[in-house]
Structure 1
Amino acid sequence: MNLPSNGGKFVQEYGGDRRINWDCPPVNMCHLIGAKDVQGNEILDYKYALDVVANYILDFLTKTKDPDVWSMDEHLANFYAFTGAINGKKKIGANIRYCSIGTASVTIPDGDNSNSIEGWVKELTEKSNPLFNFDLSIWQESQTTRMTFLSVPEGYASIIEEELAHKGYLWKVKKSTSTNKIIAIQTICGFPLSSYREFKSYEQKYFSSKNVYGGHLYEGKPIERAKFTDWRKLPSLKSQSVTNREEILSDNLREEFSRLDDLYNKAVKLRVINLDGQICKPSEETCVEFQELFTETKKILQQLESIDKSKLSVKHFIQEIELLNSYLVKVQNLEIAMSPTEYKLPQDGLREREEDVENIQKDYFYSFPVYQIIVKEILDSIEKLVNHKEKLLNQLENELNN
């Protein structure tokens, strides 16, 4: 996406003079479908599966404000209005626009009646949970916000609405063109990336089961020459989160995260980033103190270098050593005091453990190029101060040894 040169924006050119210029913080994106299965074989009806899932979900959850305008902002306007409504009201983790869509469906047998609705509703609402388990010690289900829908045949809509109201389910009903199938869709927003830790255990559970957790919307849909009906054959849905580094398949992405690991860890070690997410730099007082002592020490060294030590009396020789020692101690005792900059990593999510704080801070630091640029500049300035200090110490020690 060329984020650094685009100032942290997602800018993408498409054919037909279509251009996305998305003025939002960049986030990782996970795919629902891959062109290859887990064995690396090409999936023949990949495009069909992709189109069905993408079109159904977007058409179902979003509507463009202006159908003549083709842009990311327009297409997701309603969805962002929804996520924006909860922003600031709840403890939400890094990258609010991370969502999970859970789906389930049931086919209504011919001749069935309303007596079966209660069982179907219970089955569907249980099946359409998010497609991963999240760490309850980090994120509680009560802290999430949901959009939940049941897509039902028109003839059953009133029956299901009455049943939902009676049971107290927080589901909205949408009439569908399908004549024999009820589909449940649940979208949950507001997870921190660190919630994805338990995703692997969910996948293991799903792959070892048969039909416990529902399926994808395209599963089982007929198409000419298409053999694919089981979404378990597709690659993992798992997000390439910074907290799941061992699962990243891309060598380039893994190398990039490794570089950012080094940058983040160095910043924490040198107090450029603290546990409150504050980005700090050497204080103005520190910079002035260092510069004044550096200048003064250089001046003393230049004066001593011009003296013929063979002609010094014992008294003056001792005075010179004491002077050098005094400046050696002064330079050794120089400490870099830090002061806050205008930059601070957002403070959200559950922050009860240091591990949680670190994960959320990394999510933000790795997602925003501006933080990386500022931190690198500060680290470079600290390195210059430290190198200058070490150089003066070496000069003082050499002068003492001579």
Structure 2
Amino acid sequence: MFKKVLIANRGEIAIRIMRACRELGISTVAVYSEADKNALFAKYADEAYLIGPAPSSQSYLNIDKILEVAKESGTEAIHPGYGFLSENATFAKKCEENGITFIGPSSDSIEKMGSKIAARALMIEAGVPVVPGYDKAIEDADEGIEIADSIGYPVMIKASAGGGGIGMKIVHSRDDFASSLESIQSVAKSAFGDSTVFVEKYAEEPRHIEFQILADNYGNTVYVSDRECSIQRRHQKLMEEAPSPIMTPELRKEMGEAAVKAAKSIGYKNAGTVEFLYSKGDYYFLEVNTRLQVEHGITELVTGIDLAKHQILIADGEKLPFKQEDIKIQGHAIECRINAEDPLNDFAPSPGKIRGYRSPGGPGVRMDSGVYMGYTIPPFYDSMVAKLSTWGSDRDEAINRMKRALYEFII
């Protein structure tokens, strides 16, 4: 078993990973920016190291500095959490080159899924359904319009790199295509350093359904549970639930097996999520998130499987202790993301000092939080400060518990 793990992240996910490590008897190392010197995760860890100024480009995205701390602290493995460097193939590769275990998939798997165009091609080859579209980069507006006309409107222009709902736009007519293409190329270049985009058919009123997978180093791959993430704003998830309310045992088996096929086609190891769009009885591959998801907690609530622990155990060379038929879904779970935003100002980020804080509790309530009374939320990072999840014996009970828990929650 690893003796020491560095968590290359911040906030509630850093604490989540540290909790798993503590239960496994593993010492933890935190890295923090100047803005996070008073953050809860930096206090929770066994060791904490300052790695740079507040901007993430100078701290949480500073690969060389993080590896320097890993070596200095005697770290054997690094857990990237989600966001920041979690899907950075270069970071995973450098960990491998420095003899440090990257708790996640191989750099090769991350690279294969880093390009949505390349991922589509791989899934088509593997026999996994994909949204009808064009499988190459769009060079100019004339070419794009010709492709969109052949597919049929509405279409979606999407950035090939990146994720998190950034770099995508629905186009309803050919008159809007050129300006939309220019806009998305600009966003993609700014956000991901890559202006490559492609076009696919836009699924009307789609459901966003994803399957959690676990894969060890011995060829064992399972789908743990499905989640529904259809409640979004600006392509950003706000609420999630497990399992999906439209799921049947037959559909779960079919989509779950497609998710496993997708993972095996790229030699995937560790935890990951295969995302699908579901529309009018059909489902289509969307992407593979090569990391732990924000919403992993609701899968844990309905299956009793600690995904963070299994990430660490798989990375340490252990086999999965269960088979597909051993995994059972019990009850229903819902997660609400709690964001520091101003609803009267178009939900703009609203950082500042927390003057009042009372966490909800009681049966079936789970809180994942990185803040506390008196803590100042910095303006430099994502606006999510906590995740509130509830479990119930059925969906109605989970909903009623969530309403009750939100009523209790003061922040």
TM bin, normalised by shorter chain, reads under 0.3
Structure with the higher helix share, 1 or 2: 1
TM-score w.r.t. structure 2 length? 0.27
TM-score w.r.t. structure 1 length? 0.27
Which of these two proteins has the greater Rg computed from alpha carbons?
1
Structure with the higher strand share, 1 or 2: 2
Relative contact order, higher structure (CA 8 A, sep 6+): 1
